[in-house]
Amino acid sequence: MKIRVQDVSDLAGLVDFLQRRDFVAEGVGPNTIEVSRLSSVRHDLIRLELDIFLEAWHLAHPEAHAEFVE
């Protein structure tokens, strides 16, 4: 799944936040990352987890904006 941040300066913090929660997050563009899990968790469950963690990241960083890229 891809996540895009509005401000590229927020990207490193989001990557670190997700990696500390056992996600693999790699840059695929100047302000976009591809996020996955190493485990065999179903795709829809990963999306649910990411929704929750992205909301938590937004609460901790209210000035930042990130969204899923379909």
Q: Is the dihedral of CA 27, 40, 16, 47 positive or negative?
A: positive
Amino acid 41: pLDDT: 67
pTM over 0.85: yes
Please tell me the total count of domains within the chain. Answer: 1
Q: What is the pLDDT of residues 3-50, one digit of tens each?
A: 999 999 999 999 999 999 989 999 999 999 999 987 766 777 888 999
Amino acid 40: pLDDT: 64
Amino acid 45: pLDDT: 85
What is the rounded distance in angstroms from the CA atom of residue 8 to the CA atom of residue 51?
20
What is the rounded distance in angstroms from the CA atom of residue 38 to the CA atom of residue 4?
21
Amino acid 39: pLDDT: 74
Nearest CA among 1, 7, 8 for reference residue 53: 1
Please, what is the Cα angle at 21 between 25 and 7, to 5 degrees? 50
Domain residue limits at 33: 2-69
